Amino acid sequence: MAAPARRPGAERAPRYRAAVTRFDLRALRLPSGGQAREQVEIALEPLLLGGQAYEQRPNPVPAELTVTRASSGTVFELVLEVTVDGPCVRCLAAAELPLALRLREYQAARAETEELASEYLADDRLDLSRWAGDAVALALPDKILCRPGCAGLCPRCGRDLNLDPHEHAASDVDPRWAALEALREPD
Ligand SMILES: [Zn+2]
Ligand SMILES: [Zn+2]
């Protein structure tokens, strides 16, 4: 299992500078019709979801970048495996999500419209950190859970319903409220 989940609301000093791994395409000197396959290491920033930080490991993550150049444009493919760690949204226990990503971007040689241009490419440099980070965020499920169908915490007493499944009788009143009830003047 991963490191224990931090308490909700606990703030933490940022450990990372903005993670930026850029790949300089000019270094490839790739002719039209050429293909290059490169092993790269990509620094990833923690993802912030619902006020919680989710770390990615390994970080930097090894990845394989393939660049294929045609006269009409360039195709970029990125293959990586990363695990996202963070608190379960229902019970706050450590959750881990392994992801296998195969990504693809296209940049037309003359990109007249935004659809033909990769938003991760600027000045012949491919921003691998932002590309991989966006893809990880998109690949995550709506709710990050520690296990399928996590039962969460009891809304009445806060105990973990996975470890301690229980119900409260409807007449079970919180003792603090019971004390207030006792003080109340009869009508
Ligand atoms: Zn859970
Ligand atoms: Zn309870």
Residue 135 falls in which region: left (phi positive, over 0), alpha (psi -120 to 50) or beta: alpha
Task: Tell whether the model's pLDDT for residue 166 goes beyond 60.
Answer: yes
Whether residue 60 lies inside any domain: the answer is yes
pLDDT at 1: 44
Distance CA 97, CA 82 (A): 8
**Claim to verify: residue 156 and residue 146 sit in the same structural domain:** no
Residue-wise pLDDT for 167-185, tens only, equals 998 765 666 666 655 665 5
pLDDT at 117: 84
Residue-wise pLDDT for 18-50, tens only, equals 678 999 999 889 999 999 999 999 999 999 988
Task: Tell whether the model's pLDDT for residue 103 goes beyond 60.
Answer: yes
Structure tokens at 97: 């999500």
Task: Tell whether the model's pLDDT for residue 8 goes beyond 80.
Answer: no
- Mean pLDDT within 145-151: 95
**Claim to verify: residue 50 and residue 103 sit in the same structural domain:** yes
**Claim to verify: residue 114 and residue 171 sit in the same structural domain:** no
**Claim to verify: residue 91 and residue 32 sit in the same structural domain:** yes
Do 131 and 40 contact (CB within 8 A), yes or no?
A: no
pLDDT at 10: 37
Whether residue 63 lies inside any domain: the answer is yes
**Claim to verify: residue 146 and residue 156 sit in the same structural domain:** no
**Claim to verify: residue 36 and residue 122 sit in the same structural domain:** yes
- Residue 175 alpha carbon to ligand 2 centre in Å: 13
**Claim to verify: residue 103 and residue 143 sit in the same structural domain:** yes
- Residue 112 alpha carbon to ligand 1 centre in Å: 47
pTM value?
A: 0.75
**Which ligand is closest to the CA of 87, given by its number?**
1
- Residue 152 alpha carbon to ligand 1 centre in Å: 5
Structure tokens at 94: 């450590």
Can you give the residue range of the structural domain that contains 135?
Answer: 22-150
- Residue 165 alpha carbon to ligand 2 centre in Å: 8
**Which ligand is closest to the CA of 161, given by its number?**
2
pLDDT at 169: 87
Which of 96, 97, 118 lies closest to 109, judged by CA? 118
pLDDT at 135: 97
Whether residue 84 lies inside any domain: the answer is yes
The residue among 11 and 88 whose pLDDT is bigger is 88
Those residues whose beta carbon sits under 5 angstroms from the ion ligand 1 are: 88, 90-91, 93, 146, 150
Task: Tell whether the model's pLDDT for residue 82 goes beyond 90.
Answer: yes
CA dihedral 42, 128, 27, 69 (to 10 degrees): 130
**Claim to verify: residue 146 and residue 168 sit in the same structural domain:** no
**Which ligand is closest to the CA of 158, given by its number?**
2
Whether residue 112 lies inside any domain: the answer is yes
Domains identified in the chain, total number: 2
